[in-house]
Amino acid sequence: MTATPPPSQPPVVWESPERTEGPAPGIEYAPHGERLVAYILDSIIVTLVAGFFIVISFVLLGAGATVVNDRVTAIEPGASAGFLVFFLIGTIIAVFYFPFFWARGGQTPGMRPFGLRVVRDSDGSRIGWGTALLRLIGLWVAAVVFYIGYIWIFVDKRRRGWQDLIAGTVVIK
């Protein structure tokens, strides 16, 4: 008996990965690098602006404090009111920065240079305040779990992070 040789395997041919089609003709999903740089720019902007108001609030509080023997004994009412106003302004800016711009036009100042925009996943229309706030909550959730929610952009074919999946949005170019 002669053994028959095993069937030969066809040579492996390299194929380039499938091109991820955009949601509509002429529109593509936002590139990873541009999304990252846009987020970094927005983080710098919101930190500087909100931080300015919060620092001013503490300066006002310190200026109105009476210190005796290294202890604060009294704070003038005007200083505490000024502290509260500036601190609230800084906090409001920090919390509502992203939702404000997403609901207003779909793009933050950091997204503008790259032509990125947040739209509804279902039909590509603008998002409203409810969706923008839901997406903000999604950003927090994405960050809390070891930033896996942000990394998910590399896993999803449509480049959606957890914030996009939670709010039903997608970022396009």
Spatial distance between the Cα atoms of 161 and 173, rounded to a whole number of angstroms: 16
What is the pLDDT at residue 101? 98
What is the pLDDT at residue 79? 83
What is the pLDDT at residue 9? 67
Q: What are phi and psi of 65, to 5 degrees?
A: -90, 140
Below-50 pLDDT ranges, the chain: none
What is the pLDDT at residue 44? 98
What is the pLDDT at residue 150? 95
What is the pLDDT at residue 62? 84
Q: 51, 62, 57, 66: which is closest to 97 by C-alpha?
A: 51
What is the pLDDT at residue 22? 76
What is the pLDDT at residue 1? 59
